[in-house]
Amino acid sequence: MLFDLDGVLYVGSQPIPGAIEAVDTVRASGMPCRFITNTSTLSLRALQAKINAIGFSIEIEEIISAPQAALFYLQRQPDPVCRFLLADDVKQDFMQFRQSDTEAEYIIVGDIGDAWSYTLLNEVFNCLMHGAKLIAIHKNRFWQTEHGLQMDIGGFIHALEYASGVQTTIIGKPSIDFFRIALDEMGVQAEAAAIIGDDIDSDVGGGQAAGLKGFLVKTGKYRQAYAEASGIKPDLVLDSIWELPAALGL
């Protein structure tokens, strides 16, 4: 079982009711589990600390984040020169790479909040026009916060693609490679696994494209009209994560 984090297990710093108990029940059954996320505002250790402070008990080895997958990707490149548009905490995981704001070969984009500006977009655009590759931690449209929906980085990525003609490499969900990393970590085949998430596109659609079952919960960013307008059909729809153990017969 692959568990998405934001919107499925918690929103902000508050657990979804019944989520802690549901996760404990699934893990107690002996089912291999990983906790996956496109979140790119926290380093892996900071993410683990946040999750466990909310009330879960999850080992760092059980978490697979999109920034972590980006790190693996860059380590396979020959001495890449990079520009990281990432939160300061996440940048600490990438200090091994050479960096340049103007001569970058790879531009890695994650969540940087209010740091977006026309000047920054134009700097990245010019690097792309000079041959840089664009690497996006994810391309989500929006996400759920404690204060409501918030626009995610997908719109900025799309603008850079449109202006430059460059095709982005997407590292996190719904990338099939991202799901394969999680499957390899668990040592299971895709047809024996499922992802449970609140995003009909990245979670359910991405998981199904990788051969997993896709379970959708009606919490977090879930919006009925958006889900119904999608061509993606979940294998299972639950009101909340707390229903998962019973749905699995646990």
CA distances from 5 to 74, 98, 99, 162 (A): 24, 31, 30, 31
- Backbone φ and ψ for 16, nearest 5 degrees, come out as -65, 135
Is 34 strand, coil or helix?
A: strand
- Stated pTM of the model: 0.81
pLDDT of residue 113: 86
pLDDT at 109 over 90: yes
pLDDT tens column, 158-167: 999 999 999 9
Q: Please, which residues have CB within 8 angstroms of residue 7's CB and are 6 or more apart in sequence?
A: 143, 144, 197, 198, 199, 217, 219, 220, 221, 222
- In the DSSP assignment, the letter for residue 159 is H
Structural domains of the chain ordered from first start = 2-67+190-247 (3.40.50.1000), 68-170 (3.40.50.1000)
CB-based contact 2:192 (threshold 8 Å) = no
Distance of CA 144 to the CA centre of its chain: 13
Task: Report, as an integer, the average pLDDT of 72-84.
Answer: 92
Does residue 76 register a pLDDT over 90?
no
Q: Does the pLDDT value for residue 138 go beyond 90?
A: no
Q: Is the pLDDT of residue 146 over 90?
A: no
| pLDDT exceeds 90 at position 39 | no
Q: What is the pLDDT of residue 150?
A: 84
Mean of per-residue pLDDT scores for the chain: 93
Tokens of 215: 């379970």
